[in-house]
Structure 1
């Protein structure tokens, strides 16, 4: 359904995304994970056409259902974005317009993409609020975002995103700043809507617990590159990239009995100060001399000069 090849995003001399390849099948749930600053949100914003100058987006192909989004005229692109591809943004309270009632904001989506007006528009707006399980939905239609809780605003954002029954939904950290109980409710809601509508779902998160619960396949990002991808079960059990292994080692449930959680030294390299070799080399515990000299090429499932060997392959060897 979605095919992205060699996507790059730059802001002046700063590299935000580099050489990103991504595929998403119809109805698939993909978890896009990595530390803050890895390029997860920026890459999806580029897909949506939401990178404004001075940002620059380049790619060999960004194809959705066989149509290259980069080559569509603005009017044609607007018919796809928001209708067939929709996005739930990270902070609902800032993403929603504070000057308009939430019912009017959902109605705007229906009017722009489906041409609904009058009673049909009002009825569909009410149905969407009920679909995302907002209590007393009829009275909430006239509420402003600041009158709703964080969880309620997130549900309004989801209602707007699924209003036109998109084929692909991108959820950018949809549980950020919500308490644990509300997080679970939002994840259950997304899972239910994804199954009911059969849509593809890209879940952007740094919470590996969310990925383990929701995703069928995982793509791990670091410094603007995808450095490993694979089925969720396989990647969690036998990570090939040292960075993926380090992320998993930092999970509390994998560190029981230890005095401290394992932690990676340093931070993600800045967009203007990128190492000449492997971007992870300065922080890698398994680094070798050639890692500093050559940028690893993509090897089908991992981007590493010396990937970890799965246990079953070691036994076979």
Structure 2
């Protein structure tokens, strides 16, 4: 079997030290083949973005990052110098950030910001860089590309700003594109346009893509596989069709139950009681146990990610659909 394009083995990210240390990402492992699309889903604070920021080297110095292995395209990222990493990050691995309006620098024109990427990674300057900027804006379907290059970010709509961010991410023809909530704060029509654009470009350019989202509708339409995260841990990973047909983890089941389109006829949307555990109230064993309707005595012991017929799942029950009422003790955390 060929080596995956991206391989992350037991990545952990801890902020702070001593008693104030907080494990934002806990032993997350991911692999991604070239040209595949992986969705990473979970509610806010589950560690989705922090995982990818750790890979990109964009976390502050207060973050303590450890992994057994971080490999990209056959290269060991942990063994590289900062200079060597800069030749990969932003070029072969690029990222679209959540809020385009705040990610673009308001003091510089669109051309200046795209040209900086081209100069840093490809050495393009002058007329060559200018022509490439026009081509990139045309690629992401921005009309009147030549004149738009002279615009400042505040002169663009949210959808146009997001297209500019996509153009910058694709400037160096990356092998892996990380899209972090690419449709946040956009209206429904523009969301569909942006996702159609990303899907088309991913297929045409044969890129691998990691889609970070909390919208399972986007996952169903755009991803091949999905990894579900909760409180910094990966709790399930499987093919998209399997996840939607038969979720193996109670948290995945709850996420699916909360989709409005799947709740037609019900009086209210399904929700889990309680909140995601914070730094100071993390339970022993399964982190979902205080909120889980299937909680059992065994759930209060450490639970590891394990292989099951449905993919990988971090649960003492590898198939929650097979649990009988008699198996559930109802023990609270």
- TMscore range, shorter length: over 0.9
Q: Which residue is 1:145 aligned to?
A: 153
2:206 is equivalent to residue 198 of structure 1: yes
Q: Which residue is 2:103 aligned to?
A: 95
| TM-score, L = length of structure 2 | 0.92
Q: 1:8 aligns with which of 3, 12, 17?
A: 12
Q: Which residue is 1:189 aligned to?
A: 197
Unaligned ranges ≥5, structure 2: 323-333
SS of 2:313's equivalent? coil
Q: Which residue is 2:304 aligned to?
A: 297
Structure 1 contact 279–295 (Cα < 8 Å) conserved: no
Q: Which residue is 2:248 aligned to?
A: 240
2:275 is equivalent to residue 271 of structure 1: no
Q: What is the count of residue pairs matched by the alignment?
A: 310
Deviations 1:163-188 (A, max 9, x none): 00000000000000000000000000
C-alpha distance in 2 between matches for 1:307 and 1:265: 22
Q: Cα offset for 1:308?
A: 2.2
C-alpha distance in 2 between matches for 1:139 and 1:21: 45
C-alpha distance in 2 between matches for 1:282 and 1:242: 12
SS of 2:154's equivalent? helix
Structure 2 contact 6–31 (Cα < 8 Å) conserved: yes
SS of 2:146's equivalent? helix
Q: Which residue is 2:123 aligned to?
A: 115
SS of 1:281's equivalent? coil
Name the structure, 1 or 2, with higher relative contact order (CA <8 Å, separation 6+). Answer: 1
Q: Which deviates more from structure 2 when the two are superposed, residues 181-190 or residues 294-303?
A: 294-303
| TM-score, L = length of structure 1 | 0.96
Deviations 1:251-301 (A, max 9, x none): 112111111111111111113432111011011000001212x12111121
C-alpha distance in 2 between matches for 1:70 and 1:128: 32
Q: CA RMSD in A?
A: 1.0
C-alpha distance in 1 between matches for 2:126 and 2:259: 51
C-alpha distance in 2 between matches for 1:81 and 1:38: 24
Deviations 1:70-101 (A, max 9, x none): 22100000000000000000000111111110
Deviations 1:120-163 (A, max 9, x none): 11000000000000111111101111110011000000000000
Structure 2 contact 249–320 (Cα < 8 Å) conserved: no
Q: Which residue is 1:308 aligned to?
A: 319
2:88 is equivalent to residue 84 of structure 1: no
